[in-house]
Amino acid sequence: MPGLIAILLLSLAATGCVYVGGDVSGDEDWKQTQDKNRNAISSLDLGMSFNAVVERMGTPDDSEAFTDNGDEVRVLFYRTRHTNSDGETTRDETTPLVFRNGKLIGWGEEVYGDLR
- Rounded CA-CA distance 100/67 in Å is 9
Burial classification of residue 104, based on how many CB atoms lie within 10 Å of its CB (0-12 exposed, 13-18 middle, 19 or more buried): buried
Strand segments (E) across the chain:
62-68, 71-79, 94-100, 103-107
- Rounded CA-CA distance 78/85 in Å is 17
Q: Please check the confidence at residue 21 and state whether its pLDDT lies above 90.
A: no
Q: Please check the confidence at residue 90 and state whether its pLDDT lies above 70.
A: yes
Q: Is residue 104 within 8 Å of residue 43, measured between CB atoms?
A: no
> Helix-strand-coil percent breakdown of the chain, rounded to 5?
40, 25, 35
Q: Please check the confidence at residue 5 and state whether its pLDDT lies above 70.
A: no
Q: Between 77 and 116, name the one with better pLDDT.
A: 77
Q: Please check the confidence at residue 104 and state whether its pLDDT lies above 90.
A: yes
Q: Set out the domains of the chain in order of their start, with CATH numbers.
A: 30-115 (3.30.1450.10)
> Which of these ranges, 17-31, 36-50, 57-71, has the smallest mean pLDDT?
17-31
| Mean pLDDT computed over 35-62 | 97
